[in-house]
Structure 1
Amino acid sequence: ERRAAMTIIGLVSDTHGRLSAEALAALADADHIIHAGDIGGPDVLHALEALAPVTAVLGNNDFDEYGSRVGRFAHPVIDGVRFLVAHYPRDVQIGFNGCAGLAAGDPIPQVCVHGHTHVPELLLGKDARPADYVVCPGAAFRPRGGFPRCTGRMLVSEGRVLGVHIASLEGDVLLSAGEGL
């Protein structure tokens, strides 16, 4: 039985203008990269775009220097998986009245990605509902909460999330769910 092709999505946030060699290496094999804000300058996006297509959102420390392709929210569909990306955690928390990142009638995302806290987070099941996952890749620069600098990786295929993990830039897995990456 031939296995369906899989897509590797690199997750990064809070680079604040500094993208280390280790962070670039952690994202080097990604097929698509999501940056959840506080980019810190066009140079960071250019470096990421040299690796793979990038979906990015503005953080509270970003200015409108990226053009119309980078806004407050993004709703990419990557290999059939629906994402909602925003910088603030509150903008991806979907309640009874929806959330800031969704318009009335928008489909519920399977994965919500945020930054801002500089602390890695991986919620699934009832903690993530109505989405399947809520992910913060932590911070690639200036981590908080005793965590190291880190990035995330997600494996998706044909509309399904196969696995997600967040690892330090040294490669130590901090949070993980699903298939190994």
Structure 2
Amino acid sequence: MRKVGVISDTHIPEFKRLPEALWEHFADVEQIIHAGDLSILQVIAELETLAPVAAVQGNVEQMEVVLQLPIKREIVIGKCRIGIVHILGRTAQYAKTARQEFPDARVVVFGHSHNPYNQEHDGQLLFNPGSATDRRRQPTCSIGKLFIDDETDSVRGEIILLS
């Protein structure tokens, strides 16, 4: 079973630091995905102390992030193709937009709304971990994990609520 940490909307340095619980929850992951709005590249350096990081830029980034990170990208972990983008559009259009942007991806990871989302749509898992630092209208901040099973060719997402 492959484990992938998923995080988005950290907004550092507006929010002073990444949550302490992150180190416990991501201690066993082989890869971390950051779905944008990190704001500064230092976030990647901190996360890389745990595992390699694949990230995209969001819509609230300092110039160093804009110059370094793509708007969208695809990665493959085991047998699982994963699309990553910050903004997927309106909730009612998630499935359509995800399929247009990443037609061959088994999973599409996104952020922006700060609202956790973990749903399958016609064989494509759409996964938003929520925000690790800014809960907005949510009861708590959150991160996520993907569990990829190459033997059964399956993947599932888990939203992790932070206290």
TM-score category (smaller protein): 0.7 to 0.9
The whole-number CA distance in structure 2 between the counterparts of 1:77 and 1:112 is: 12
Residue deviations 1:33-64 (CA, integer Å, cap 9, x gap): 00000012111100111110111010001134
Q: Percent of pairs identical after alignment? A: 30
Return the match for 1:121 from 93, 99, 117. 117
Q: How many residues align?
A: 156
Return the match for 2:158 from 165, 170, 173. 165
Task: Report if the CA contact (8 A) 1:23-1:150 is conserved.
Answer: no
Q: TM-score under structure 2 normalisation?
A: 0.84
Q: TM-score under structure 1 normalisation?
A: 0.76
Task: Report if the CA contact (8 A) 2:95-2:126 is conserved.
Answer: no
Where does residue 7 of structure 1 map in the other structure? 2
- C-alpha deviation, 1:145, in angstroms: 2.5
Counterpart code for 1:138: G
Where does residue 176 of structure 1 map in the other structure? none
Where does residue 59 of structure 2 map in the other structure? 60
- C-alpha deviation, 1:144, in angstroms: 2.5
Where does residue 133 of structure 1 map in the other structure? 125
The whole-number CA distance in structure 1 between the counterparts of 2:67 and 2:30 is: 22
The CA RMSD over aligned residues, in Å, is 2.5
Change (3 A) 1:66 1:135: same
Please, which runs of 5 or more residues in structure 1 have no aligned partner?
1-5, 171-181
Matches within 5 A, 1:96-115: 99=100, 101-102=101-102, 107-115=103-111
- C-alpha deviation, 1:167, in angstroms: 1.2
Where does residue 95 of structure 1 map in the other structure? 96
Task: Report if the CA contact (8 A) 2:58-2:86 is conserved.
Answer: yes
- C-alpha deviation, 1:68, in angstroms: 6.4
SS in 2 for 1:37: coil
Looking at secondary structure, tell me which structure has more helix per residue: 2
Task: Report if the CA contact (8 A) 1:26-1:169 is conserved.
Answer: no
Change (3 A) 1:165 1:115: same
Please, which runs of 5 or more residues in structure 2 have no aligned partner?
none
Task: Report if the CA contact (8 A) 2:10-2:131 is conserved.
Answer: yes
